[in-house]
Amino acid sequence: MVQRKRSDAAAGGSSVDAGASSAVGKAFAVLKTLRHASGALTLTVIAEEIGVAPSSAHSILGHLLAEGAVTQLPDKRYLLGPQLFYLGASFARGTPIYRSTWMELVSAAADLGVTAAVAVPWDGHHLILNSHRAGESEVAIPFGGRVPLAAASWGKVYYAWSGEAPPEELGKYTSVSITDPTVFAEAVAEAKRLGYGIDEGEFFDGVGGACAPVTSVYGYEGLASFIAPLPRVETIDAHVLGRRLAAITARASLALGDSDRFKFFGVE
């Protein structure tokens, strides 16, 4: 099960603080700085961002370069390196939700002509492990990206199965986003009743879909989602997408030790 509780130091920004004063902490501060940058950065900018002397930043970058965690362009600017993808991809492939749903999810997305994605909770967001744009779907989802925990159908499913209380304040992303806590609580209860949540443009204008949870003997593991332009969602019917997902995730959950979402016929 993915650990969701993290300290402020571990979840914070790139600046070196009490939690990042070690060599490892400073190295991660460099990596976080490069992750949030819009392009390659110079040594001077990196040193300023993490609050250390240029000589210290140069030493850290030298170690990261040697490990392939960063790369250096001919103009001496720095970018994240392939080692991070190598390690991160191993994490994604090893998660219970990826192992138990991905191949069936991709096949179903191709059948429906929608985009599929899987995500796990991390650092106050849903972390997207992978996505697959099937057929003529116009919706691309960047893997490694993040979605706020309470956003649209993903939020309904998360709070329906994680056991956590929904937030008092909800973000407004589009004109139809649910911002009333009472209405959101009702949507969470409805998702729990149905086994999936639907989204009809609540997070991104013109885009909707459905998602369903994967659970295990340890509890909530993450969610699987189908996403498409609203006209496509309306043609298929969001509830059809939701039921298709719920079937996939219920089978995955059973394989992971959670039999509560399956109805068995017969007696022992």
| Distance separating alpha carbons of residues 216 and 202, to the nearest angstrom | 28
Q: Identify whether the C-beta of residue 196 lies closer than 8 Å to the C-beta of residue 149.
A: no
Residue 91 CB contacts under 8 Å (≥ 6 apart), including other chains: none
| Distance separating alpha carbons of residues 56 and 78, to the nearest angstrom | 15
> Could you tell me the two tokens for 79?
């970018």
| Distance separating alpha carbons of residues 178 and 186, to the nearest angstrom | 11
Phi, psi of 78 (to 5 degrees): -115, 150
| Distance separating alpha carbons of residues 227 and 245, to the nearest angstrom | 11
How does residue 15 score in pLDDT terms, banded at 50, 70 and 90? very low
Scan for tokens 């080692």, then name that residue. 83
Taking residues 96-113, what's their average pLDDT? 96
pLDDT, tens digit, 9 for 90 and up, residues 185-217: 999 999 999 999 999 999 999 999 999 999 999
Taking residues 85-93, what's their average pLDDT? 95
Domains of the chain by residue range: 8-81, 95-255
CATH T-level fold of 8-81: Arc Repressor Mutant, subunit A (1.10.10)
Name the CATH superfamily housing domain 95-255: GAF domain (3.30.450.40)
